[in-house]
Amino acid sequence: MGKFFRIVVFSLLLVSAGMLSCAEAAYHQGDQGQDIAAIQTQLNGLGYNVGSADGDFGQATAAAIEKFQRDRGLEADGVIGMETYRAIMGREMTVSRDGSSTLVRRVVQASLRYQGVPYVFGGTSPNGFDCSGFTRYVFAQAGVYLPRAADEQYEVGQYVSYSRLQSGDLVYFSTYESGASHVGIYLGNGQFISATSSRGIAIARMDSGYWGDRYLGARRVL
């Protein structure tokens, strides 16, 4: 099997996995962001105390959601799925991976297209990328514009726990300095793609000895 054909097959498999993982949009314990804060504010207003509406989906929020679900005759699983979100907020869920599947597909396909492009410090084009230059360029192809530096990109989007990673999420690592100093794009199946100083644009495993020890967190912007 030729190299080009293997890449095409791998790309299609990743896109299919990403589309399947988008089948059900939901918020789970461990998620963070402005949408969680809005849900917490609404729950407090309905008499289901979650404490401070800090945007952190913790145990208190999960307990309040379970009580709300029981009172409304919903499955009391502490997860904010479509039905629970509708009952709390009085509208359809606006943050849905279903609606973003096209963007996810574009990002994954674009990222794979640049495998082998050399690493260039400060690089922002197919002539050569650094890590954040690569993610910024790839997301721009899908009409999503990120800040320039890895630590700045770490401040955008919604926090995603490791167990909830989906294709198209941005994954961050602490490498040559503390904080978010390296960023890549999660592809699914425990793999991500990024601009590395040793191999250029390349795919690696999240749980490899090097990357696993340096994993910092993930953000979802799609």
Taking CA atoms, 131 is separated from 30, 39, 216, in Å, by 27, 34, 15
> 112 and 84 in one domain?
no
Tokens 């990743």 belong to which residue? 14
Q: Of all residues in the chain, what percent carry a pLDDT higher than 90?
A: 61
List for the chain the helix, strand, coil content (%; round to 5). Answer: 40, 20, 40
% of the chain residues with pLDDT over 70: 83
The whole-chain average pLDDT of the chain stands at 85
Mean pLDDT along residues 161-169: 92
| Alpha-carbon span 218 to 184, nearest angstrom | 9
* CATH number of residue 103's parent domain: 3.90.1720.10
Continuous H helices in 46-193: 59-71, 82-89, 101-113, 131-141, 150-153
Residues 6+ apart with CB under 8 A from 57: 27, 28, 29, 30, 31, 32, 36
Instruction: Note the pLDDT of residue 38.
Output: 87
Position 18 pLDDT exceeds 70: no
**Residue 158 within a domain:** yes
Question: Does residue 85 share a domain with residue 104?
Answer: no
Bridge partners, 192 (sequence order): 186, 204
Check if the beta carbon of residue 168 is closer than 8 Å to that of residue 218.
no
Query: CA-to-CA distance for 33 and 36, rounded, in angstroms?
Result: 5
Is 181 part of any domain? yes
Whether residues 176 and 210 share a domain: the answer is: yes
Structure tokens at 62: 């999960």
CATH code at position 79: 1.10.101.10
Which residues are bridge partners to 129 per DSSP? 119, 124
Give pLDDT, residue 212. Answer: 95
Supply the range of the domain harboring residue 149: 97-220
Give 25's pLDDT tier (boundaries 50, 70, 90). low
* Count of structural domains, the chain: 2
* pLDDT, position 82: 85
Q: Is residue 150 part of a domain?
A: yes
pLDDT in tens, 29-61: 877 767 788 899 999 999 999 999 888 889 999
For residues 84 and 183, state if they share a domain. no
- Residue 19, pLDDT > 70, answer no
Residue 205 has pLDDT above 50, yes or no: yes
Q: Residue 41's pLDDT is what?
A: 93
Pairing verdict, β 128-129 and 124-125 = antiparallel
Angle at CA of residue 171, ends 170 and 173, nearest 5°: 145
Choose the final residue of a domain: 49, 69, 89.
Answer: 89
